[in-house]
Structure 1
Amino acid sequence: MKFGSVPVRPLIALAAVGATVLLGVPSAGKAPEMRLTGVASAPPGGAYWHTRELWKETSPRRLGSGSHRYWVEEPLVLERWSTPDGRSWVGSRRPGAYPKSAADREAWRRDGSPTKWTRTADGRPLSLSARPNKGSVGPERGVGAFVLAMQRLTYDELQRLPADPEGLKSWLTRATRVQPVKETAVDGFVTGALTDLLHEFPVPKEVRAAAYRALQTMPGVRVKGTAKDSVGRTGTVLSIDPPETPRKDDIVVRSKFIVDTGTMLMLAEDVKATIDGKPFLENTGTRTMLQVGWTDAGPAVPALP
């Protein structure tokens, strides 16, 4: 998918257990590597770097029958565990779809309050349920490293990333250019990597702070004051808009995310996509980072929120 003319990950694709999602990126196993030198920091405070996220996306097509048509929201709990040696596991679970708004809820009731759907309102097949599924958990295969800016890094190398904004941005820019990436796409990849450093990777807080400050210097990024996330936590809002005028038929993605500037961790993200000015629901949704940090609790099927 496109952020202006820059590839971005689709939200729903991240639910795939055991798959590495790198859109528009050459195989990580074949990437030339940039090594970091220096002394690594102290060992981690747990066995796994763990993230627990709640995704909410609107189904891309309306459901129902006749005049009783409505939109539903599809939540997804996604968890990931990574060890310092680069192994990782992903767990996912669907809590069950539900009508998106009060008006959708009324239309759903008029439609008989179904709890299972096999077709959209326009007759297209799908499989959707209002009931939670059993969920799953499994190892990610074929990775064995932390992949940042298309570079395979060890845990120790993550600890040695530059802890100043300009140095970090410079390193990520050079790392991105190691691959045959269009020059116009470099800033988009760097912006994405800086954002990922705020939650996805077990880096020191000083590196996250550098990523946060570097983000504010990237094209299309603006500070938008403060806001609360869906669970009531307050943080600083950053928005990311396309830095260039999109071409016809480009999928344009705009996002806002909330950062806790005390821990320098992302709290939540809101993503909206359009194509030719019209909503593109397949890339639109929100996520809340329910847990980010070290833990000794091993991989398991995610609990319901």
Structure 2
Amino acid sequence: MDDYRAVRELLPAPPLSPGVERAGRDRLAAAIAHERARRSRRTARRNLLRLGLAGAAAAVAVVFAQAAAPAPPAAPVTLAQPDGKGFLLVAAAAVTAVPDQGAWWGSTEVRGSRYRDPGGRYVLHESRTVETWIPADPEGLTWYRETPRGVRPETPRDEAAWRADGSPSSWTYDKPGEHGSSGVVRAEPGERRTWSTEDWDFRIVTADRPLTKMSDLPDTPEGLRALFGGDDDRATVDTAVRLMFFAPVSSETRAAAYRLLASTPGVAAAGRVTDVLGRTGQAIEYEAGEFAPPHHPGATRTRVVIDPVSGRPLSLETRSAADGMLLTYTAIQDSRWADDNPLEKE
């Protein structure tokens, strides 16, 4: 099915004013020009075919209407699909226009976890920033920079309970639990570290199949499902999500992962939500598999938050199925292809 036709069917829009439609077409023209400049390895004819100009103008006008109109913050995307997952097809259409050339795939993530103090009286929030640069050359080194942000009480109520506990600056866990392991947890931020390693071998998690380069990956939902095995829907979804968030794949493969999620049973729409960094997006949820905290005593669900207008994945959250409490998360602050790796020069 053509993605843009699916967008038009799933997201019927009210008539647009001439000014809004003109702005949408201008944005489309600018995106095409940028695509041509950045992707010299592709011919102009392939660019035109890939963007699907015959049907793209109306879809892009719908996507950009809220951003172009002089109005309050954009309203929720209207979904016509009964299961509410139509926004995944919007994201797939948007992400295909993102350039994917460069020598390095770089990302900056905020990773965190929330757990109770050893006495169970208040919730602590531990977080760190992780910058990763993965080379397009499979023989190159992957570079990391990690900056621990420390541990703090989560809410004002938790802070009050922490003060009543004597305002400790460290907590000792005698055995693994929600925290994940035994040992001492300290409040102050840790020391920033930068290092490189050879251990990023372009292996797609759970598929258990090493690849010589990520461009070898299929660019259709059917191809990805076959690569992942296709027998376990939960493992298929976990793998597709990890590919979307963390792997240096082509825009076509990333779009195929979105379409795969839209068609996989067990993936439910969670509507319009705000992620851990305060950004608004559309979300899906499913029973946690790979991303479930190993020592959490109950069932968990994974929430994936996406900005459908840009096609960017925003955050990956694991929550308690019992009360919805956020347990762990990875929020993508930035991800892009680049010609240089800044960590290599430090």
**Shorter-normalised TM-score: what interval?**
0.5 to 0.7
- Do the aligned partners of residues 251 and 118 (structure 1) sit closer, same or farther apart at CA in structure 2, a change above 3 Å counting? closer
- Structure 2 residues not aligned, in runs of 5+: 1-40, 43-98, 175-180, 290-295
- Do the aligned partners of residues 70 and 222 (structure 1) sit closer, same or farther apart at CA in structure 2, a change above 3 Å counting? closer
Q: Are 1:223 and 2:269 counterparts? A: yes
Q: Is the 8 A contact 1:252 1:273 kept in 2?
A: yes
Q: Are 1:271 and 2:318 counterparts? A: yes
- The residue that corresponds to 1:153 in the other structure is 211
- The residue that corresponds to 1:294 in the other structure is 337
Q: Are 1:72 and 2:118 counterparts? A: no
Matched residue type, 1:132: P
Matched residue type, 1:297: N
Q: Are 1:255 and 2:313 counterparts? A: no
Q: Are 1:236 and 2:282 counterparts? A: yes
For residue 242 of structure 1, report the CA deviation from its aligned partner.
Answer: 6.3
**Runs of at least 4 residues of structure 1 off by over 6 A?**
none
TM-score by length of 2: 0.58
Q: Are 1:106 and 2:157 counterparts? A: no
More strand by share: 1
Residue from 240, 243, 247 that aligns with 1:197: 243
- RMSD (CA atoms): 3.3
Q: Are 1:96 and 2:150 counterparts? A: yes
- SS of the equivalent of 1:62 reads coil
1:226-267 Cα deviation digits (max 9, x unpaired): 223233433221111269xxxxx9863311111122443310
Q: Is the 8 A contact 2:115 2:327 kept in 1?
A: no
Q: Is the 8 A contact 2:118 2:171 kept in 1?
A: no
- SS of the equivalent of 1:197 reads helix
- Do the aligned partners of residues 234 and 195 (structure 1) sit closer, same or farther apart at CA in structure 2, a change above 3 Å counting? same
Percent of residue pairs bearing the same amino acid type: 27
- The residue that corresponds to 2:27 in the other structure is none
How far, CA to CA, are the matches of 1:285 and 1:298 in structure 2?
28
- Structure 1 residues not aligned, in runs of 5+: 1-40, 175-182, 244-248, 301-305
- SS of the equivalent of 2:299 reads strand
More helix by share: 2
Q: Between Structure 1 and Structure 2, how many residues are aligned?
A: 233
The structure number with the bigger radius of gyration is 2
Q: Is the 8 A contact 2:240 2:257 kept in 1?
A: yes
TM-score by length of 1: 0.65
